[in-house]
Amino acid sequence: MNKIEHIGIAVKDLDASNMVFEKLLGVPNYKIEEVLTEGVKTSFFKSGPNKIELLQGTNEDSPISKFLKKKGEGVHHIAFAVDDIVAEIARLKSEGFLILNETPKKGADNKLVAFIHPRSANGVLVELCQEIRD
Ligand code: ZN
């Protein structure tokens, strides 16, 4: 795994939270993107070399809506950049980690993504992401 690619934060109201994070970080978001297949709307901020992703559920069945109902707003996942997501999934699987989607799927921000169940990572939902190169 390479560096932390971004930190994902679950929010109830993306517009309101965009204003909070714009004030907090001193920069406006640079992108809003909806991932229809996941039922989420995302907003990205850059703070120096770091990225923050705000996520709001767009329907009741969205993993974000379920998370908010269970735990409330807050840090939702930590994403790590990887060079080869397929190889990294295989490595983590062989180490005993529970992979939520063994086939990488298309996430926000031009990335292929896969998630590691928090149960196998001390309560932290870990996202692997690989830039889509074409
Ligand atoms: Zn993410």
- Interstrand relation of 74-81 and 126-131 (parallel, antiparallel or unpaired): parallel
* Dihedral sign for Cα atoms in the order 120, 9, 62, 110: negative
- Interstrand relation of 40-47 and 50-57 (parallel, antiparallel or unpaired): antiparallel
User: By the 8 A CB rule, do 64 and 18 touch?
Assistant: no
Q: In this structure, which residues have their CB less than 5 angstroms from ion ligand 1? A: 8, 53, 79, 127
**Phi, psi for 32 (deg, rounded to 5):** -120, 135
Q: Calculate ∠ Cα 36-71-14, nearest 5°.
A: 45
**Phi, psi for 112 (deg, rounded to 5):** -90, 135
Per-residue pLDDT of the chain in tens (134 residues, 90 and over written 9)? 889 999 999 999 999 999 999 999 999 999 999 998 889 999 999 999 999 999 999 999 999 999 999 999 999 999 999 999 999 999 999 999 999 999 999 988 889 999 999 999 999 999 999 999 87
Instruction: Kindly report the pTM of this predicted structure.
Output: 0.93
Q: What is the pLDDT of residues 71-110, one digit of tens each?
A: 999 999 999 999 999 999 999 999 999 999 999 999 888 8
The pair of three-digit structure tokens given for residue 14, joined into one six-digit string: 């993306």
> From the CA of 95, how far away is ligand 1's center (Å)?
23
The reported pLDDT for the residue numbered 1 is 87
> From the CA of 98, how far away is ligand 1's center (Å)?
18
